[in-house]
Amino acid sequence: MAKSKLKAALDNEKGRNFKLERQRKQEKEARKRKAEKPEGKEGDEAEGGVPLDEVELKVAPKSNGKVTKKAKANGVKIATPVEEAEWETDNSEDEASDDDEKATYDLSRLEDSESDVSGDDEEDEEVGETLGAGGEDEDEEDDVDEEHEDGDDIAFSDIESLADEDRADIVPHQRLTINNTAALTAALNRIKLPYGKLSFSEHMSLTTDEDVEIADVDDDLNRELAFYKQSLSAVKDARGLLKKEGAPFSRPADYFAEMVKDDEHMGKIKQKLMDEAAGKKASAEARKQRDLKKFGKQVQVAKLQERAKEKRDTLDKISQLKRKRSGADVTATNEEDLFDVALDKSDKPERGGRGGEGGNFKRQKKNDKFGFGGKKRHGKSNDAQSSADGRGFSHKKMKGGAAKRPGKARRMNKK
């Protein structure tokens, strides 16, 4: 390869550009073909007056496939068995611009010349491309065909990146693909390892049986899952193959050696994981606290209410007792006695006593009224407690909603 090196150096010095040269050569070829072509076409037309498209189809079957594919993509029915119908659709497309047709013609010749070099692969690619592009406008495709003749243009792959309003005015072109399949295979054969002779443990490379399908590369989870599955299957196969060859696979537990990530790095990762876990835990705790707080407030309010109610009840009871006892010995009993004894005996003795000690009850009332201890004035007037007492109060009555007392005549009648 010393020769090529030398050559390369020479070329470098001369400033030779291989790409440009190649392109120029192709252009020249195309021009030559173009010069030849008109004669042939005329001859054909003279022969049988075949429509132009058919000539094209005859000469370049590839372009034929292209056109029909295009028609399919555009939703034109090709299912009709009559061939002419198909040609007609072609016509309708191509009549729009005769120049275009010429261009496609030239192009097809040119591409043919290319494919002579590169083989079948390119053809397949071409068809795939037209299929892919089928969804777009026809005009755009025609423009693509024109690409080689136009000077100022823009790369086809750049179109998507432009804004919509700009897209209309642009004449797209595709960068000239170089895919020299023959050279590629030659290069591959030159460097290829002799896999047939090598045992698996020498190269340890595996290819999946089926394509790894990734529907959407932007879908992170599914994409990574596909990678994971691919490698997992490879690992399983490799393990089997290596075991069969007797090569060691798994590391024994007592084999220690330097790792790719050192302890410091692993410590950092561990710390990071722990921090993450701690953060998660802390946030969960905080949320729990927040919820509890919200709930706790309600609980507290309920508790306070309950306590207040209890207090009120006991106070009520006490006051009742006080009132009951006030006649007998309000002053005599000290408080503790009052509480204990009164609470215990509050109901029964009084009830029982009422019947038996009728005179005593009367006496008490009289004492209340006419004085025998205690204050005499304002006995019937409201005090703070009685005025706050709303037991007898009814807002219904206040509003006059209560059943009105019937008139006197009616009452008499009822009797």
Partner 1 sequence: MAAVYKTLSATSGNEKESTERRNKQRVLILSSRGVTYRHRHLLQDLYSLMPHSRKEAKFDSKTKLYELNELAELYNCNNVLFFEARKGQDLYAWMSKAPNGPTVKMHLQNLHTMEELNFIGNCLKGSRPVLSFDAQFEKQAHTRLIKELLTQIFGVPKTARKVKPFVDHVMAFTLADGKIWVRVYQINESEPGKKKPVDGEEMDVDPAPKKKGKTEFDVQLVEIGPRFVLTPIVIQESSFGGPIIYENKEFVSPNQIRSDLRRSKAGKFNSRTEAARDSKIRRGDLGLLSHGGRKKEKDPLSDSVLFA
Q: How many residues bind partner 1 (CB under 8 A)?
A: 89
10 binds partner 1 (CB under 8 A): no
The answer to whether residue 132 forms part of the interface with partner 1 (CB under 8 A) is no
> For residue 109, what are its two tokens?
């010749």
Which CB, 193 or 292, lies closer to partner 1? 193
Sheet strands (E) in 316-358: none
Q: Cβ(249)–Cβ(237) under 8 Å?
A: no
Compose the 18-57 pattern: x for residues touching partner 1 by CB under 8 A, - for all others.
xx--------------------------------------
Q: Is residue 175 a contact residue for partner 1 (CB under 8 A)? A: yes
Residue 157 or 394: the one with the smaller Cβ distance to partner 1 is: 157
Q: Cβ closer to partner 1: 182 or 343? A: 182
Q: Is 157 in the site for partner 1 (CB under 8 A)?
A: yes
DSSP state of 154: E
Instruction: HSE, CB side, 13 Å, CA atoms: give it for residue 348.
Output: 4
Nearest to 117 by CA among 177, 72, 59, 158: 177
CB of 112 to partner 1, least distance (A): 19
322 binds partner 1, rule: CB under 8 A: no
Q: How far is CA 38 from CA 43, 55, 103, 282, 284, in A?
A: 9, 11, 13, 83, 82
Task: Return the amino acid letter for 379.
Answer: G
* One character per residue 208-227, x = contact with partner 1 (rule: CB under 8 A): xxxxx-x--x---x-xxxxx
Residue 196 is classified by DSSP as: T
The residue (of 68 and 201) whose beta carbon lies closer to partner 1 is: 201
Cα(288)–Cα(285) distance, integer angstroms? 5
- Binding track, positions 238-277, relative to partner 1; x by CB under 8 A: xxx-xxx--xxxxx---x-xxxxx---xx-xxx-xx----
Provide CB contacts within 8 A for 182, sequence distance 6+: 117, 118, 119
Q: Which is nearer to partner 1, 190 or 415 (CB)?
A: 190
User: Binding to partner 1 by residue 117, rule CB under 8 A?
Assistant: no
Residue 121 neighbours by CB under 8 Å, 6+ apart: 179, 181
Q: Which of 235, 284, 302, 343 binds partner 1 (CB under 8 A)?
A: 235
183 in contact with partner 1 (CB under 8 A): yes
Q: Does 184 bind partner 1 (CB under 8 A)?
A: yes
